[in-house]
Amino acid sequence: MENDRTDKQKSEKLREEATKILEKCFGLNKFRKGQWEVIESILNHKNAIAIFPTGGGKSLCFQLPALMLPGTTIVISPLISLMKDQVDSLRERGMAASFISSSLSDYEVQRRLQEMEAGMYKIVYIAPERFQSEAFISALRKISIPFIAIDEAHCVSQWGHNFRPSYLKIRDIIKAIGNPVVAAFTATANEMVQKDIIRLLGLSECKLYIGSFDRPNLEFRINDPKSPNAFVLDYVKRHPGQSGIVYANTRNKVEHLFYYLRNKGVVAGMYHAGLSAEQRNRYQDDFINGKTPVMVATNAFGMGIDKSDVRYIIHYSMPISMESYYQEAGRAGRDGKKSVCILLKNEDDYRVNKFLIDGNYPPVRVVENLFNRIQKRKSAGISAEALINRRAAGASLRESALRKIIENGYAQIRDGLVFPTGKDKFMLTQKDIDSHKKVELEKLDAMLKYFDEKICLRAYILRYFNEEPEKEECGNCSLCCSRMGQDDEKMINRLLFQIFGK
């Protein structure tokens, strides 16, 4: 009895301290549902896995404990652009933060490691590919690291929608630096992926926190317009002043739609990987600041974007998986206000997505050929552009092959040059490459089934993510609303018949 009272007092005191930091550093006065339980687990040095939907506040669950724990917290993140955005955001709030990725020179990496050893940072984001270097791991051993946060943890599983072989090294890193407390975070992990995260990260002793995937303020719609361009234009013009994102699956579609809207008088921005960094940053800043209400983008846009008042998401193209769709749709309505997520039908989208998936999984001979070219150059390195050679046929396959080489730890990119990592023997097989391709194709088929849903779109989404809906009909999706409209029409017809007869 006395122990229970003492534990409760400790928990209350810990929460009081955390709430003060929440207000002072993050400008918030209360935790969202589920956040405190994860944070308390970390502060009590217990491993955790948190599965919260996009917009559920995952970042706070590792950023706040980092400020309360001694030493330097490491956040493992696969997205270099997201790292920089989050670090910039933390610095603006007065927090000592940094990142280490392939975008930095060797000198800059060493400088930041020395600053970590000197205790200059509370939180440092690191790309998982860095862990292929034994010298880097040795440097981490000298640093006081009480806590490792693993963002996008589904990347560790081949059943996840974004498998990254470099994530398989994380378990070794955890052991190498003395088994600190570990928390893994993701927005998309079904039961199979959850088990993989626990097994592959060695987190047998951990607590699993699963937030509801239901976002009641989001209305889900499927539309089948004769002209997708005209539909988007009409919707945007009927909602002036509202912020919205229109997603398309290729750069050409993004540019086509962007210029179409601009020529029709719509103030819009665009975002895709083919633009310069200066162009992307300008369009992104104007969107966040409200100068540009509409952003037309590929799925390269949105990760870590701190904008809570996005009122609508329109998917001009079918996403490659339900995970991608829900992650992108979930960028609407983060302020809790009513928002709309519209998915447009297009018969060609399945074929385009299948083509994109096929392009991500090149023949193993192409991968091995690039591996041999990189090995021959040794410490001199070779230009990534020279390897890809966009002027010659097959450039997209070579680009995918280079990605596979880097993901599997055979090479790394520094300052635009590709260097071998020391793995002399090429072990990758065609089976290794094709196994995850099969998973991606299955996920693409699940998107087709979403289009064929007859009862309730929200119920389909929740069941896909292993959550049983409270009701079979949500009353807030295009299927439910259509049925309600039909019911209203029948009721009116019955009343008219009672009044006027035949």
Residue 154's domain is classified under what CATH number?
3.40.50.300
In this structure, is residue 501 part of a structural domain? no
> What does the pLDDT average to over 159-182?
82
Same domain membership, residue 294 and residue 153? no
In 10 A of CB 230, how many CB atoms? 12
Instruction: Using pLDDT thresholds of 50, 70 and 90, give the confidence band for residue 299.
Output: confident
> Under 8 Å CB-to-CB from 210, ≥6 apart: which residues?
51
Same domain membership, residue 146 and residue 8? yes
pLDDT at 314: 98
Q: Which domain holds residue 200?
A: 2-210
In this structure, is residue 433 part of a structural domain? no
Residue 382's domain is classified under what CATH number?
1.10.10
Structure-block tokens of residue 263 = 């020529």
300 class by beta-carbon count within 10 Å (0-12 exposed, 13-18 middle, 19+ buried)? middle
> What does the pLDDT average to over 275-299?
91
pLDDT at 496: 45
Same domain membership, residue 49 and residue 144? yes
Q: Is the pLDDT of residue 242 over 90?
A: yes
Q: What does R_g of the chain's alpha carbons equal in angstroms?
A: 24
Most confident of 163-172, 308-317, 326-335, 357-366: 308-317
pLDDT at 49: 94
Q: Is the pLDDT of residue 10 over 70?
A: yes
Of the candidates 330, 318, 52, 355, the one whose C-alpha atom is nearest the C-alpha of residue 217 is 330
The structural domain count of the chain equals 3
229 within 8 A of 257, measured Cβ to Cβ: yes
Q: Is the pLDDT of residue 502 over 70?
A: no
- The string of pLDDT tens digits covering residues 98-127 is 999 877 888 888 999 999 999 999 999 998
Same domain membership, residue 110 and residue 14? yes
Per residue, what are the HEC states of 359-399?
Answer: HCCCCHHHHHHHHHHHHHHHHHCEEHHHHHCCCCCCHHHHH
CA 376 from centroid of its chain's CA atoms: 36
pLDDT at 490: 45
CA distances to 153, 162, 443 from 222, rounded to whole Å, are 30, 25, 18
Structure-block tokens of residue 240 = 């002036």
Domain boundary among 210, 237, 263: 210
> What does the pLDDT average to over 28-51?
92
